[in-house]
Structure 1
Amino acid sequence: MKLFQKEHVSALCLKGGPGGSGSGFGNFEEIGPLNRDLEPRKTSWVQAASVLFVDNPVGTGFSYTEQPDRFATNVSTVASDMLVLLKHFFTQLPEFQSIPFYIFSESYGGKMAAAISLELSQAIAQGSVKCKFAGVALGDSWISPLDSVMTWGPYLYTTSLLDDYGLADVSNAAEKVKQAVEQQQFLKATELWSITETVVEQNTNGVNFYNILTQEPDDKLASSAGENFISLQARRHIHPLHKQSLSELMNGPIRKKLAIIPQNVTWGGQAEKVFSNMAGDFMRPVVDIVDQLLMAGVNVTVYNGQLDLIVDTMGQELWVKQLKWEGLHSFTQQRWTPLDDPAAPGVTGAFYKTYKNFGFYWILKAGHMIPSDQGPMALQMLKMITQQD
């Protein structure tokens, strides 16, 4: 856990994976006061909020467990674990009890953020936590995995990254994922999701799932003979969050600065175990939890990067349209509003629309990691969501 303090609002930032580190990737690669080279970041979110980074679930980043059965296997456990931390946080730092508190998330962190937000709002209502919970923001979030997978083919086809044959291949693979989900075979669905990603890679010459316009040589990850799908998916989605330069920073200067990390614990050392333990829960949707939050009056914001494939905007819009929230019809009737890119006045950087306690931001020229791709736009969005702009 790492806190950077600013007076007016506070925000908990959750990363994805599961197994992605908030104190590492979220902090030094995206929104913290310093970048990976320990140079000041001009678009740090600490300009607008006190930011709390948590390595979550247990086993992520510097957090660890010495007992194999203590890893979380579902978002319900993740939420109850986080509530223990938040109770302690607001008890030990009572000055934050009266400051608006937001949860911002990315990727699988959004799925966890939804569950955590519901647990937190219920705890506040019961009086077991003192907190001025002001809302949750779900960035490129794995809320409805199937809607993401089912739109990969159409999205890639319309962006000229699949031909007719490739579209058929990807659609057929995605359909098998759908069948497994419908049969409630969620571990099998996760394996078939992995196979679908391989089909995508084969037909797109190794498209980058996190930004379709950015392709590095090491993005092409051919599966090794005999490699199980958990290891393959860890290489695809966990290893990019633990690049060598970041690992050297976290296990070197940062570890030394913290001076509390046990000698046998390595930053990111249990990340793959975090991922594998959550595999059976991976393809389960949490759209119903978002509905519960909206119906309870919690402020919910969805934001997504235009160039993201793994959680493409088409899929996000599909699950939003499935909401049972009574304000959905009025929300869909709204026209979106363009936003100038703060880094290029006169150039559109995003669109957004809101109705009552729900909002949606379409962030242009950004992939899965919006703060990394469009830092100024992400910072402006933060200010708008927290009502500072």
Structure 2
Amino acid sequence: FFNFNYLCLQSKCLLLCPLAGKEAWNYVEVRDGAHMFWWLYYADSQSAGYKDLPLVMWLQGGPGGSGSGFGNFDEIGPLNKDLEPRKTSWVQAASVLFVDNPVGTGFSYTDRPDAYATNVATVASDMLVLLKHFFTERAEFQGVPFYIFSESYGGKMAAAISLELTKAIAQGTVKCNFAGVALGDSWISPLDSVMTWGPYLYTTSLLDDYGLAEVSSAAEAVKKAVEQQQFVKATELWSVVETVVEQNTNGVNFYNILTQEPDDKLRFTLCFFFFLPLPALQTRRHIRPLHSQSLSELMNGPIRKKLGIIPQNVTWGGQAEEVFSNMAGDFMRPVVDIVDQLLTAGVNVTVYNGQLDLIVDTMGQELWVKQLKWDGLSGFNKLRWTALDDPTSPGVTGAFYKTYKNFSFYWILKAGHMIPSDQGPMALQMLKMIIQQD
């Protein structure tokens, strides 16, 4: 499906606006009853054609957050939610493929309750079916460098997908030029994140001694459950820690510690914590911010009409709660070992994190990196980081980074969990540096 017009919303009227590049989108049935939606933007660069630029696949978090919606219109796509051009769109540097993943996310959907994914192994298997279909159908992309970029829980899925993709390429079942994976504010080691929430908030003056003790005590309960391999219980206790954090910080925003949850949302969360089932509570906390009312209206209105292939019984984001619920038993499982396997196999791995993120704070990221068994870790640790100027303010530091062999780490300043939203120019510069490393 090709479309050379954007639907633009202006004065409550739909207008057709010219599109310089081109797009494609479709569904792939990855399992019986499991339908995955993808949306491709061909690179739109004045200096090179799309066949001369990389292909980047973007995976959103949640699980249950939609890349075709939030990643596209709130972060890196060619248009923002007001359907205005985005100056920092990644489409100017690469073709961008958004996939609503796992099935049930965004415009992806399942026909029956038992078709949802319950672990990252199934998520990876489903994605391999989609990628095999995509690269077969669009053979012109088989030779261009292919990168997987991710955010939050999307990073956990991206790691598993990357490992299976590496195996599939070696076996010849998928034809593509896989060039690397980038893990943004990623849920690679959930326990390391939870255990550092208290210290991070304390050192940023968002907890006092009493609050630190309460948060740390709640986090210890999560640690005990993980150590006992009780992962569903660990997910439930993780939610308890979040509530303790909210109570002691007067509603700090987990996605950016310099902002605060609105009073009405905080009161709802605290008052109904003991009455809401876990999936509903976590949908409200972590999926709904990715499915704002304005974005939902856009996706279920003009965009749905534009795409023209969405089944009548499918609502964008309508199965998000079920997606999270079915993944609850896998949510707190770490995948550090998978990152280790990727590095050992020679896959280019990048970790990037926002300075102001709490849900996946940088302290926790650095902890799991130090656990890697990769033989290049000691060399990486000996390096000092290099400062990067903020692209919009020469002479002002916007980030730091280190690269050793096939591993890189970017520390993005003044950014929270959604780095492209908070620091769009810096995120775009980082993208260009990563895809030009080869």
Same fold (TM over 0.5): yes
1:351 to 373, 397, 400: 400
Trace 1:203-222 onto structure 2 (pairs within 5 A).
203-217=248-262, 218-220=264-266, 221-222=269-270
Trace 1:36-185 onto structure 2 (pairs within 5 A).
36-185=81-230
Specify the alignment match of 1:190 in structure 2: 235
Shift of 1:222: 2.0
Shift of 1:227: 1.4
Deviation per residue, 1:163-199 (Å, 9 max, x gap):
0000000000000000000000000000000000000
1:231 to 274, 280, 298: 280
Establish whether residue 262 from structure 1 lines up as the match of residue 334 from structure 2.
Answer: no
Specify the alignment match of 1:2 in structure 2: 39
Decide whether the 8 Å contact of 1:223 with 1:232 is kept in 2. Answer: no
Give 1 or 2 for the bigger CA radius of gyration.
2
Establish whether residue 317 from structure 1 lines up as the match of residue 362 from structure 2.
Answer: no
Specify the alignment match of 1:328 in structure 2: 377
Establish whether residue 300 from structure 1 lines up as the match of residue 300 from structure 2.
Answer: no
Where structure 2 has 5 or more consecutive residues not aligned to the other structure, the ranges are 1-37, 44-49
Helix, strand or coil for the counterpart of 1:167?
Answer: helix
Helix, strand or coil for the counterpart of 1:237?
Answer: helix
Deviation per residue, 1:117-157 (Å, 9 max, x gap):
00000000001111100000000000000000000000000
Shift of 1:232: 1.0
Specify the alignment match of 2:332 in structure 1: 283
The runs of at least 4 aligned residues of structure 1 exceeding 2 Å deviation read: none
Decide whether the 8 Å contact of 1:72 with 1:78 is kept in 2. Answer: yes
Shift of 1:223: 4.3
Helix, strand or coil for the counterpart of 1:353?
Answer: strand
Specify the alignment match of 2:323 in structure 1: 274
Distance in 2 between the 1:199 and 1:354 partners?
37
Distance in 2 between the 1:388 and 1:320 partners?
21
Decide whether the 8 Å contact of 2:181 with 2:348 is kept in 1. Answer: yes
Decide whether the 8 Å contact of 1:338 with 1:352 is kept in 2. Answer: yes
| Structure number having the greater strand percentage | 2
Decide whether the 8 Å contact of 2:252 with 2:261 is kept in 1. Answer: no
Distance in 2 between the 1:187 and 1:279 partners?
6
Distance in 1 between the 2:437 and 2:350 partners?
15
2:362 counterpart letter in structure 1 = T
1:241 to 279, 290, 298: 290
Shift of 1:284: 0.0
Distance in 2 between the 1:154 and 1:223 partners?
26
Specify the alignment match of 1:34 in structure 2: 79
Distance in 2 between the 1:388 and 1:167 partners?
41
1:139 counterpart letter in structure 2 = G
Distance in 1 between the 2:260 and 2:213 partners?
23
Helix, strand or coil for the counterpart of 1:362?
Answer: strand
Shift of 1:230: 2.1
Distance in 2 between the 1:55 and 1:229 partners?
22
1:72 counterpart letter in structure 2 = A
Shift of 1:229: 2.1
Distance in 2 between the 1:105 and 1:327 partners?
23
Deviation per residue, 1:230-282 (Å, 9 max, x gap):
21111100111110000000000000001111111100000000000000000
Distance in 1 between the 2:381 and 2:121 partners?
30
Distance in 1 between the 2:271 and 2:318 partners?
22
2:158 counterpart letter in structure 1 = A
Structure 1 residues 144 and 388 mapped into 2: Cα distance closer, same or farther (>3 Å)? Answer: closer
Q: Percent identity?
A: 83
1:222 counterpart letter in structure 2 = L
Specify the alignment match of 2:388 in structure 1: 339
Helix, strand or coil for the counterpart of 2:183?
Answer: strand
Distance in 2 between the 1:5 and 1:261 partners?
21
Deviation per residue, 1:312-341 (Å, 9 max, x gap):
000000000000000000000000000000
Higher RCO structure (Cα 8 Å, ≥6 apart): 1
Decide whether the 8 Å contact of 1:207 with 1:219 is kept in 2. Answer: no
Helix, strand or coil for the counterpart of 1:222?
Answer: helix
Distance in 2 between the 1:88 and 1:223 partners?
47
1:132 counterpart letter in structure 2 = N
Decide whether the 8 Å contact of 1:306 with 1:364 is kept in 2. Answer: yes
How many residues align structurally?
A: 389
Distance in 2 between the 1:315 and 1:293 partners?
20
Distance in 2 between the 1:377 and 1:250 partners?
27
Decide whether the 8 Å contact of 1:13 with 1:105 is kept in 2. Answer: yes
Decide whether the 8 Å contact of 1:294 with 1:300 is kept in 2. Answer: yes
2:41 counterpart letter in structure 1 = F
Distance in 2 between the 1:385 and 1:228 partners?
41
